[in-house]
């Protein structure tokens, strides 16, 4: 069983195949001892996504979970998710999203009328963590703010990134929950990571930052900004409709996941797959 969290990773061909899953939103009632089959529950979708991905014709070297593991902060839900991931016997890393540090009370109410309750992130959700691979470094940041939906890349986070990128010249992938570029969707862009202007200004000096992979937006997007490829990845549960200024679900979009193939020459290939059924 791989140690959690791993700090180094090597493969036989020195290429790294990373499976990104995000925004699981597993609810406490989904894992209750007497749970019945709930049609299309977030737990069922998470398990189906994981099973399908690990049966793809791709060797999986690492699973990264980029936040919003739960819909309500309860230790039992994390225990279940971590046990499910550990059962794969594949190294994995989890970071926090806003739902991992914020409960929303009054979900039957309009969002503006709900009460947001702050929580401390589960100790298994990592921040400022580094994995050194054969030809890559993978960096993990916690952008969540307890009691808020929006995220933040703090001054200390930026300083940590600059130090790491300066001290290790290997190409870098940064995994973070909140998006760092606007999505052309007013309602979700209200909850982008704060201090992104400073972040991009400071990252301009570090050409070895090649890839950013995030969650939070429940949709697939890919941008290139400052020669960095920036990916947003679908949720394993429900999806948001792209390019909408008002909140809207994308009921036609299936749960999904992203493969990131980090080559031994510093190049990256990436693609999204959707749940078959």
As averages over each run of 10 residues, the pLDDT of the chain (277 residues) reads: 93 98 94 51 96 98 98 95 98 98 86 88 98 98 97 98 98 98 96 97 98 98 97 98 95 97 96 94
As for how many domains the chain has, the answer is: 1
3-class SS at 45? helix
- The answer to whether residue 237 sits within a structural domain is yes
Give the CATH number of the domain where residue 125 resides.
3.60.21.10
Kindly report the backbone phi and psi dihedral angles of residue 101, in degrees, each rounded to the nearest multiple of 5, phi listed first.
-130, 5
- The answer to whether residue 175 sits within a structural domain is yes
Beta bridge partners of 221: 232
- The answer to whether residue 45 sits within a structural domain is yes
| CA torsion through residues 119, 83, 25, 218, sign | positive
- The answer to whether residue 117 sits within a structural domain is yes
- Range(s) of the domain holding residue 243: 8-274
- The answer to whether residue 193 sits within a structural domain is yes
- The answer to whether residue 259 sits within a structural domain is yes
- The answer to whether residue 186 sits within a structural domain is yes
Of 204, 209, 212, give the one whose Cα is nearest residue 232.
212
- The answer to whether residue 2 sits within a structural domain is no
Task: Give me the residue label for tokens 């980029």.
Answer: 66
* CA distance readout (Å), 214 to 55, 140, 166, 217, 270: 23, 10, 22, 8, 13
pLDDT single digits (tens) 88-130: 999 999 999 999 999 988 877 877 788 999 999 999 999 999 9
């Amino acid at each position: 069983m791989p140690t959690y969290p791993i700090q180094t990773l090597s493969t036989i061909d020195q290429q790294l195949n990373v499976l990104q899953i995000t925004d699981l939103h597993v609810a406490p009632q989904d894992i209750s001892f007497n749970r019945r089959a709930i049609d299309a529950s977030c737990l069922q979708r998470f398990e189906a996504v994981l099973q399908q991905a690990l049966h793809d014709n791709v060797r999986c070297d690492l699973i990264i979970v980029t936040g919003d593991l739960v819909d309500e902060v309860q230790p039992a839900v994390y225990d279940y998710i971590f046990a499910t991931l550990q059962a794969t016997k594949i190294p994995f890393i989890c970071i926090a999203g806003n739902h991992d540090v914020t409960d929303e009370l009054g979900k039957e109410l309009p969002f503006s009328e709900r009460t947001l309750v702050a929580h401390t992130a589960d100790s298994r959700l990592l921040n400022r963590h580094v994995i050194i691979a054969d030809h890559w470094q993978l960096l993990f940041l916690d952008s969540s703010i307890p009691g808020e939906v929006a995220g933040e890349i703090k001054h200390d986070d930026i300083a940590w990134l600059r130090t790491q990128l300066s001290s290790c010249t290997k190409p870098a992938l940064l995994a973070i929950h909140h998006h760092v570029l606007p999505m052309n969707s007013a309602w979700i862009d209200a909850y982008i990571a704060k201090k992104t202007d400073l972040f991009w200004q400071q990252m301009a000096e570090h050409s070895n930052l090649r890839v950013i992979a995030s969650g939070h937006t429940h949709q697939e997007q890919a941008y290139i900004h400052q020669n960095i490829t920036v990916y947003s990845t679908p949720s394993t549960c429900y999806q948001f409709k792209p390019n909408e200024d008002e909140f809207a679900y994308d009921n036609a979009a299936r749960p999904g996941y992203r493969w990131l193939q980090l080559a031994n020459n510093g190049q990256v290939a990436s693609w999204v797959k959707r749940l078959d059924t």
